[in-house]
């Protein structure tokens, strides 16, 4: 009887989620993810993939409603259910490691390497304002 009530509760949760807009569903997911010890990149993966988001809601509802009483570590179970246990954190974007910067080739300071003739900034601006 308790299992049937839990299944009914999971189904009701699913119906409520299906009626939400994507924005509402993602906001709800962020609130629910606060109860787990997920890393920031894992949360980003869940909210960025519609399929993972749906699976997250299903697994969360099953855990909360008692359909998975044998689960000792809900966060690990959730990560494994979503396949996030097989992934690694993405490398940060926008940072250039010091080693790469130190070994970067240097450009010569003279203009001959870039263009055949040199122009001052005033000359370039004057040429832009001249009528064609």
pLDDT digits (tens, 9 = 90+) for 20-57: 888 888 888 999 999 999 999 999 999 998 888 889 98
pLDDT > 90? residue 72: yes
pTM confidence score? 0.63
CB distance 85 to 79 below 8 Å: yes
What is the average pLDDT value for the chain, to the nearest integer? 78
CB atoms within 10 A of CB 42: 21
pLDDT > 90? residue 75: yes
């Amino acid at each position: 009887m308790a299992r049937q009530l839990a299944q009914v509760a999971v189904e009701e949760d699913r119906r409520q989620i299906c009626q939400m807009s994507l924005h509402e569903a993602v906001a709800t997911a962020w609130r629910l993810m606060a109860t787990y010890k997920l890393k920031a990149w894992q949360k980003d993966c869940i909210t960025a993939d519609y399929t993972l988001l749906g699976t997250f809601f299903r697994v969360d509802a099953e855990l909360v409603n008692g359909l998975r009483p044998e689960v000792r570590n809900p966060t690990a179970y959730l990560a494994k259910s979503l396949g996030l246990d097989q992934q690694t954190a993405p490398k940060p974007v926008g940072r250039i490691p010091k080693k790469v910067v130190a070994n970067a080739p240097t450009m010569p300071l003279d203009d001959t390497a870039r263009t055949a003739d040199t122009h001052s900034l005033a000359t370039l601006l004057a040429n832009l304002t001249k009528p064609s």
